[in-house]
A = this chain, B = another copy of it.
Amino acid sequence: MASRIFDEGLDKTPANHQPLTPLVFLERAADVAPDRVAVIHGTMRQTYGDLRARAHRLASALAGRGLSRGDTVAVLLANTPAMIECHYGVPMCGAVLNTLNTRLDAATLAFILDHGEAKVLITDREFAAVAAEALALATVKPLVVDYDDPVFQQTGARLGSLDYEALLAEGDPDARFDGPADEWDAISLNYTSGTTSNPKGVVYHHRGAHLLALGNVVTCAMPKHAVYLWTLPMFHCNGWCFPWSVSAVAGTHVCLRQVRAAPIYEAIAEHRVTHMSGAPIVMSIILGAKDEEKRAVAAPVTFLTAAAPPPEAVLSAMNAAGFSVTHLYGLTETYGPAVVNEWNSDWDALAAGDWATRKARQGVRYLLLDGLDVMDPDTMEPVPADGTTIGEVMFRGNVVMKGYLKNRAATAEAFRGGWFHSGDLGVKHPDGYLQLKDRSKDIIISGGENISSIEVEDALYKHPAVANAAVVAKPDDKWGETPCAFVELKPGAEATAEELIAWCREKLAHYKVPRHIVFAELPRTSTGKIQKFKLRDQVKG
């Protein structure tokens, strides 16, 4: 029998065990660098001392209004100082922050308010109309707090009797908070986009938020006092946990209400931005800037992008414009990014094609993700690392969600076999790097053959006239399904359906070639993702 000497008399005490939480990052930054600028928003500046005082005010005001552990505070906010304050003040009093996607319709917002059992709704006046409609539809009756953005002309109605600043005035800037009693306590609630059914409420805990925030610092090599520009919505996976990462390095948040070229370049030039994140659409905005909107980018800006791997042409153009692009991958269920295309400097010397092949891969696990694999979801056996066998991408570790709110069945299904089943399909290359092939539901099964819609899209993207492409399954009496492509052409470019089909025939196996080409504007989510489910509905109709 093993010795027990290392177990006895060596218990957890407050001296040597404290719950992990990202809230300590703000406390430390405010202790160590109270005068450093934490938040920039237009002409407004908040120091770390200010940010802490306001977060403490918010937390104690909410506590004074009866909020406590496990109560939900929903917020319908743009990337404003209030949004950052809520990332600290709400969980500080034990409550759970539910950031709402500002582009959702009223019915979906009402569903989320009810499902999350919101006790408070903090809403920017810009979104007053949809918020009013959602509140009318919802069963819950949260305390409604209006936020007036001080640097944005507000025209929307006031919905509640309480203003955000008035709420803060109720609080104590010097209130003390002990942090969560347990690091497994919920910190936030993020709803999935729910393309096929009602959105699911993904619960994050303090432990995971702490660790993913640190993972960002290490993975993105964020130095002390990094300057982070908010081109990624904070309502999206809590801004990939960057509201907490930035404070960990006592850095500066540069708020940005609207993602447009001129204010992006202006912020980079004025505030010496070091890091920013966003969907591919943000890169399009940067690269599409008019000359008069551009400003010199003095030092390279690290640009973290997720979703589809950026095409080579985009990477080169971004590089020339002064941005160093790193490609991340993750899901709402993994706190945002948990996979990184970790670049080996040896690959810089590769021929263009090989280089692009490496760049197109999603990559390897974050330092703080314990497991990432591609498996057969039935047997839970890893697929061979051959770059061709498709399996389901699986995650395991402390940066995987606590589970789906009030949905034991979906949680159990997602975690079966001890791994989180992402629903994404991919392959594992011989060097262990992961490459996505498709979402399970995006695979097209034609005559019994699996067709990766991504592969067909890649072929279309290589055509010089194609700006964007999305391929979905079209029901077919003979083949079961066939690929149908939706295409946006570049401004001024021309191509016929026949030309594109001929192009694909040169590049793809015959059964993978789209039978139909539809020229149309692609429907997108607020974060720039193409909404294939809408296209799928269209081809079924």
Q: What chain B residues lie within 8 Å of A402 (beta carbons)?
A: 6, 10, 16
A66 and chain B: residue at smallest CB distance: B2
Name the residue of chain B whose CB is nearest to the CB of A185: B6
Interface-lining segment among A25-33, A264-272, A507-515: A25-33
A71 within 8 A of B: yes
A4: B residues at CB distance < 8 A: 70
Q: Does A3 sit at the interface, judged by CB under 8 A?
A: yes
Assess whether B418 is in contact with A15, with CB atoms less than 8 Å apart: yes
Known: A5-B406, A367-B25, A415-B13. A214 touches B203 (CB 8 A): no
Q: Across the interface, do A32 and B342 meet the contact criterion of CB distance under 8 Å? A: yes
| Cβ of A432 under 8 Å from chain B | yes
A396 to B25, CA, bound (A): 15
Interface string of A336-363 (1 = CB under 8 A from B): 0000001010000000000000000000
A72 to B72, CA, bound (A): 48
Is A461 engaged at the interface, CB distance under 8 Å to the other chain? no
Query: Closest chain B residue to A17 by CB distance?
Result: B398
Given contacts A9-B408, A218-B249, contact A403 B16 (CB under 8 A): yes
CA separation between A248 and B407, bound complex, in Å?
36
Closest to A411 in B: B9
**Interface 0/1 of A10-41, CB less than 8 Å to B:** 11111111101000110010011100000000
Q: Say yes or no: B420 contacts A16, CB within 8 Å.
A: yes
Q: Are B415 and A7 in contact (CB under 8 A)?
A: no
Query: Which of chain B's residues have a CB closer than 8 A to the CB of A315?
Result: none
Asked whether any CB of chain B lies closer than 8 Å to the CB of A400, the reply is: yes
Contact of A396 among B18, B96, B406 (CB under 8 A): B18
**Which residue of chain B lies nearest to A6 when distances are taken between CB atoms in the complex?**
B186
Bound-state CA distance A415–B4 (Å) is 21
Q: Is the C-beta of A419 less than 8 angstroms from some C-beta in chain B?
A: yes
Q: Whose C-beta in chain B lies nearest to the C-beta of A340?
A: B32
Taking the closest CB of chain B, its distance from the CB of A161, in whole angstroms, is: 24
The one of B13, B20, B203 that contacts A10, using a Cβ cutoff of 8 Å: B203
Chain B contacts for A24, CB-based, 8 A:
370
Contact B408 A5 (CB under 8 A): no
A127 within 8 Å of B by Cβ? no
* Any B CB within 8 A of the CB of A217: yes
Check A32–B370 contact: CB distance below 8 A.
Answer: no
Chain A residues numbered 87-111 whose CB sits less than 8 Å from any CB in chain B? 94, 96
Give chain B residues whose Cβ lies under 8 Å from the Cβ of A16. Answer: 208, 396-398, 400-403, 415, 420
A142 to chain B, nearest CB (A): 13
Kindly provide the distance from the CB of A412 to the nearest chain B CB, expressed in whole angstroms.
9
Residue numbers in B under 8 Å from A342 (CB-CB): 32-33, 224
Given A33-B344, A365-B28, do A403 and B10 touch, yes or no (CB 8 Å)?
Answer: yes
B397 touches A18 (CB 8 A): yes
CB-based contact A403/B9 at 8 Å: yes
- Distance A414 CA – B20 CA, assembled complex (angstroms): 23
Chain B hits for A6, CB < 8 A: 70, 96, 185-186, 203, 402, 405
Residues of B near A364 (CB, < 8 A) are: 28, 31-32
User: Contact mask A46-70 → B, CB, 8 Å, 1/0?
Assistant: 0000000000000000000000111
Q: Which of A71, A370, A398 has the most CB of B within 10 A?
A: A370
Residue-wise, chain A 474-502 has the 8 Å CB interface mask toward B (1 for contact) of: 00000000000000000000000000000
Interfacial chain B residues near A94, Cβ < 8 Å = 2
Among residues of B, the one whose C-beta sits closest to the C-beta of A115 is B5
Is A150 part of the contact surface with B, judged by Cβ < 8 Å?
no
Cβ-defined contact, A407 with B214, below 8 A: no
Q: Does A539 contact B (CB under 8 A)?
A: no
A3-B117, A10-B403, A15-B419 as given contacts; A367 in contact with B28, CB under 8 Å = yes
Within the complex, the shortest CB–CB distance from A79 to chain B, in Å, comes to: 25
Q: Is the CB of A12 within 8 A of B184?
A: yes
As a 0/1 sequence over residues 441 to 468 of chain A, the CB contacts with chain B under 8 angstroms (1 = contact) are 0000000000000000000000000000
Q: Which of A7, A9, A69, A217 has the most CB of B within 10 A?
A: A9
Q: Is A223 an interface residue (CB 8 A)?
A: yes
Q: Which 8 residue pairs across A and B have the least CB separation, nearest first?
A: A14-B418, A6-B186, A9-B408, A15-B415, A16-B400, A10-B403, A18-B370, A10-B402
User: Could you show 19 A-B contacts with beta carbons less than 8 Å apart?
Assistant: A2-B68, A3-B70, A5-B405, A6-B402, A8-B406, A9-B406, A12-B184, A14-B396, A16-B396, A16-B398, A16-B401, A16-B402, A17-B398, A18-B397, A28-B365, A32-B432, A33-B344, A217-B218, A224-B342
- Residues of A at the B interface (CB closer than 8 Å) are 2-18, 20, 24-25, 28, 31-33, 68-72, 94, 96, 117, 184-186, 203, 208, 214, 217-218, 221, 223-224, 248-249, 342, 344, 364-365, 367, 370-371, 395-398, 400-403, 405-408, 411, 414-415, 418-420, 432
9 extra interface residue pairs, beta carbon distance < 8 Å, beyond A7-B70, A13-B415, A18-B396: A2-B71, A3-B72, A6-B402, A10-B186, A10-B402, A10-B405, A17-B398, A28-B365, A28-B367
